[in-house]
Amino acid sequence: MLYLTILAIFAMVAPVVYSKIKPVSTKKRAQKILFAGITSFFGVIAVMAIVSMTGSPAIAADAAAAGATAAPTGIAAGLAFIGAGLVTTGSCIGSGIAVASASTAALGSISEDGSLFGKALIFVALAEAISLYGVLISILILNKI
């Protein structure tokens, strides 16, 4: 599973490195590189999901070697995982929207008056903190099961 994780990271980074080595000349070429990167990343994620669901002996041996306790099962554990994922997803999307608008306004105000940098930084940091709250809540949810 570690190798698949490394492969997923490589699938994300490879198109960026390739576009830096050989500069993108047209929009169509950039779209092809982006599509290849997204396809390879989600392909590796699909393989990871299939391997984890089939009960691979290597994964079972890793879990036994680590001395893992019995994982919680049942509908409550499944709903807790779904809830933690939804909390993290929602908070990160909300934070992204807030940072996009706050940072745009902050850059505009800083370009007019440089003394507003501290205040602008605080507003952007507050928008960024929304995602941290979501991650904190998902950690609390996962520690309850």
Number of compact structural domains in the chain: 2
Q: Give the Cα separation of 117 and 125 in Å (integer).
A: 12
Please state, rounded to an integer, the average pLDDT across all residues of the chain. Answer: 80
Domain-located, residue 70: no
Query: Do 56 and 9 share a structural domain?
Result: yes
Interval 15-46: pLDDT, tens: 777 777 777 778 887 788 778 878 887 887 78
pLDDT for 59: 59
Apex CA 129: angle with CA 125 and CA 130, to 5°?
Answer: 130
Mean pLDDT of 52-64: 63
Rounded Cα gap, residues 128 and 140, in angstroms: 20
Structural domain of residue 49, as residue ranges? 2-65
**C-alpha span between 133 and 145 (Å, rounded):** 19
Give the model's confidence band at 12: pLDDT under 50 very low, under 70 low, under 90 confident, else very high.
confident
Per the model's pLDDT, the better-predicted residue between 49 and 71 turns out to be: 49
For residue range 66-105, what is the model confidence (pLDDT) as tens digits?
A: 655 556 667 878 888 888 889 999 999 999 999 999 999 9
Residue 14 has pLDDT above 70, yes or no: yes
Q: Select from 20, 35, 65 the last residue of a domain.
A: 65
Which CATH number belongs to the domain containing residue 126 in this structure?
1.20.20.10
* Calpha distance 119→115 (Å, rounded): 9
Backbone angles phi, psi at 21, to 5 degrees: -70, -50
Instruction: Report whether pLDDT(1) > 60.
Output: no
Same domain, 91 and 58: no
Q: With contact defined as beta carbons under 8 Å apart, do 41 and 12 qualify? A: yes
